[in-house]
Structure 1
Amino acid sequence: MHAHPAAAKPCATCGDLAGRGYPACPGCARTVDRPWESAWALLPDPDPEVVADAPRGDYPWACVDWALRQLPCAGCGGELAAGAPDCVGCAAADAARWELAPPTPHERVLRTAVVVLRAPTWRRRAVASTWRLLLPFVVAGCVPSSTTLSEVRTQVVAGRYDELAELEALPLALPLLPWRRSTA
């Protein structure tokens, strides 16, 4: 889709690792949204309503996602597919979005992180926090394993978000949890 940095780097706007402040921080948003903006820019005459309503497969997944972001939901008024958690229109748009699968593992994990962080109230806080912690590394090209996702989420549930946020590389040097420490 596009080139990504070799390592997670600080955001010039917020100072945290680029992506961690997504979507509120403008610098993080520019960094994270680059693949979507690049795909959208390749369309000859982009119209969000046309792209969002087109038959599946007429447009790349990134263009469909970008179109959804630009459209307000008729039901809740929020960003289509990311508005109110109980909005039927947003839920339907979000479900339809997943029918178009990104072709690479990196694109899939990047899309998942972005979708979770654009609608964090749709998931448990620990899930959104896990993706917030990992997004800077995903932006840099990392594809965290399901084991890494599970371990980070476990650490977040254990109240260690701030400790993990200080780490600047993957794999994260996860501190042992009290119930996992050896007593030998």
Structure 2
Amino acid sequence: MSWRADRPEAVKPCATCGELLGRGYPSCQGCAEVVDRPLRAEWADLPDQDPILVADAPPGEYRWTCVDWALRQLRCDGCGGELAAGAPQCVGCAAADAARWEVPALTSNEHALRTAVVVLRAPSWRRESVVSTWRLVLPFVLTGAVVPAAELREIRALVLAGRYDELAELEALPLTVPLLPWRRSTVDREPDA
């Protein structure tokens, strides 16, 4: 990660909410402090901290962290919500969200953090299983981990199978729980007696 802001060295519980640090984002103040730190740090270094100027700038003029922080400070004229995270049917928010992705994150870890933040700030835009998957992996992404797409799909499948609570108890990647008996291959099963 190229951010100058400190990030947690290891996955640990949040002192505010008790969940793994990041899982309570954005409602938990302790989690939000850590998750938003890189965005706020780069925003603070801008000579002109005008959110409208940054949000409307040509792609690539500002880092993704600054663009996302600018969007967070603006209100949508259409729905009144946070720009790019307001009502799911709002055309203005949808346009702002699409434009944000024209400024790429530089690393896979940055992309994962950005995606998690975007999903968790606008949970009504996505399926609950997607929101829950990003909530589960965010504590690991904060430490610099990159979660491969295949692992994200596996976690999402387990969430869909109703195993969120089991996954939430795990404190290391990969987040995997034993397969249910009917999902095991015949090779893994014990022979019949």
TM-score (norm 2): 0.92
Which residue of 1 is the match for residue 183 of structure 2? 180
**Structure exhibiting the larger radius of gyration computed from Cα positions:** 2
Runs of 4+ aligned structure 1 residues displaced above 4 Å come to none
Can you list the C-alpha shifts for 1:5-36, whole angstroms capped at 9, x where unaligned?
22111111101100000000010000111110
Structure with the bigger RCO (C-alpha within 8 Å, sep 6+) is 1
Instruction: Tell me how far apart the structure 2 counterparts of residues 90 and 179 of structure 1 sit (CA, whole Å).
Output: 43
Unaligned runs of 5+ in 1: none
Tell me which residue corresponds to 2:172: 169
RMSD: 1.1
Please show how residues 94-113 of structure 1 align to structure 2 within 5 Å. Answer: 94-113=97-116
44-53 or 28-37: bigger deviation: 44-53
Aligned residues: 184
Q: Match for 2:19: what amino acid?
A: D
SS in 2 for 1:86: coil
CA drift of 1:123 comes to 0.7
Q: 1:25 aligns with which of 28, 38, 43?
A: 28
The answer to whether residue 81 in structure 2 is matched with residue 78 in structure 1 is yes
CA shift in 2, pair 1:5/1:88, >3 Å:
same
C-alpha distance in 1 between matches for 2:167 and 2:35: 20
The yes-or-no answer on 1:134 pairing with 2:137 is yes
Of the three residues 60, 68, 73, the one matched with 2:71 is: 68
> AA paired with 2:165?
D
TM-score by length of 1: 0.96
Structure 2 stretches of 5 or more lacking a match? Answer: none
The answer (yes or no) to whether the contact 1:164–1:172 under 8 Å persists in 2 is yes
